Amino acid sequence: MASQAELIADVRCATGESPVWHPVEQALYWVDIPNRTLLRWQAASGEIRRWTGEEMLACIARGSDGRWLAGMQSGLFELEPQDDGHLAATPRARVEHAHPAMRFNDGRCDRQGRFWAGSMLLEMAAGVPAGALYRYDGAAGTLVPRLDGFIVPNGLGFSPDGRTMYLSDSHPSVQAIWAFDYDSDSGTPHNRRLFVDMKAHPGRPDGAAVDAEGCYWICGNDAGLVHRFTPDGRLDRSLAVPVKKPAMCAFGGSRLDTLFVTSIRPAGDLADQPLAGGLFALDAGVRGLEEPAFAA
């Protein structure tokens, strides 16, 4: 299936990540991690707004009360975008990283509204498996590591019925996607198994989304592709974007049938990919699922 990628916003993010569609506002929110920025694209007007905070901002989730929860460097924060462009952040839960130079990376809510986020070393090239996957207990205000031993945990996603959890490791030495049985009552993953060996496909596994048919979409970083895998791990289709490093995808639009893709703008000569760091939209040919709100 061919699909033409449309440039929605030429924002040139250093690392554009964590796109989340806001159905009430009909707007897409996402982050630029190293630039500590929250961005918003309004579908009706095309207006783009930016708010900048004090720490690297990695992953976000919309709260059921209208506020935003974010995984940053030192923990989870409640965000308050200000009229002057400042992003105020109130601590919700601090984290004790395995090493000092770490931050959160990919994260999202499960179907029940529990927030999950993975951590990684800032120096990814070191290849140290110090990353962990945390679950936030909002009632107790604590962050608890549930899985560890990752270099760059990524690609977190949940099946439509919430009974399967997906997780990847983006590091070049790993490039694997796993599936877990997920106890939706207790919020516990178990029975880890290999879902896709991404070394057999173009690109490293990065951020992901799950569609209404239960298929898993993941960005093929370094390959300029977004792959769709069926629930049995079969590659169904690959859609191209005009940049080498698509970072994360999310469904949105009035019918949830647009696949938005954020991207990375690496340093160096970008003559062959001048749109790197932009936000793109694709006709995925299938509808997605509304992103669960954090059960604050």
CATH classification of the domain holding 79: 2.120.10.30
Q: Per-residue pLDDT tens for 186-238? A: 999 999 999 999 999 999 999 999 999 999 999 999 999 999 999 999 999 99
* 120, containing H or E segment: strand 115-121
Q: Is residue 124 part of a domain?
A: yes
Over its length of 296 residues, how does the chain's per-residue pLDDT go in tens digits?
Answer: 456 899 999 999 999 999 999 999 999 999 999 999 999 999 999 999 999 999 999 999 999 888 899 999 999 999 999 999 999 999 999 999 999 899 999 999 999 999 999 999 999 989 999 999 999 987 778 898 999 999 999 999 999 999 999 999 999 999 999 999 999 999 999 999 999 999 999 999 999 999 999 999 999 999 999 999 999 999 999 999 999 999 999 999 999 999 999 999 999 889 999 999 999 999 999 999 999 999 86
Longest dimension (CA), the chain: 50
Q: Is residue 1 part of a domain?
A: no
Domain range holding 260? 6-283
The per-residue pLDDT for 296 is 65
Closest CA to 26 of 292, 257, 253, 278: 253
Q: Is residue 231 part of a domain?
A: yes
Q: Domains in the chain: how many in total?
A: 1
The per-residue pLDDT for 272 is 93
Q: Is residue 288 part of a domain?
A: no
Q: Is residue 293 part of a domain?
A: no
Closest CA to 10 of 203, 283, 255, 270: 270
Radius of gyration of the chain (CA): 17
Reduce the DSSP state of residue 126 to 3 states and report it: helix
The per-residue pLDDT for 1 is 40
Residues 6+ apart with CB under 8 A from 188: 146, 182
- Candidates 32, 106, 110, 206; catalytic one: 206
Q: Which residues of 82-109 are buried (b: 16+ CB within 10 A; e: fewer)?
A: eeeeebebeebbebebeeeebbbbbbbb
Reduce the DSSP state of residue 98 to 3 states and report it: coil
Question: Beta strands 188-197 and 204-210: pairing type?
Answer: unpaired
Reduce the DSSP state of residue 25 to 3 states and report it: coil
The identity of residue 267, as a single letter, is A
The per-residue pLDDT for 178 is 98
- Tell me the average pLDDT of the chain: 95
Give the C-alpha separation, 121 to 139, whole Å: 28
Q: Is residue 272 part of a domain?
A: yes
Q: Is residue 265 part of a domain?
A: yes
Q: Which pairs with CB-CB distance under 8 Å and at least 24 residues apart come from 37-41?
A: 37/13, 37/87, 38/68, 38/70, 38/79, 38/81, 38/87, 39/9, 39/11, 39/13, 41/8, 41/9, 41/279
The per-residue pLDDT for 140 is 78
Q: Is residue 45 part of a domain?
A: yes
- Tell me whether residue 206 is one of the annotated catalytic residues: yes
Q: What is the DSSP letter of 292?
A: P
| Rounded (5°) CA angle 234-240-241 | 135
Give the C-alpha separation, 1 to 228, whole Å: 11
Give the C-alpha separation, 45 to 23, whole Å: 15
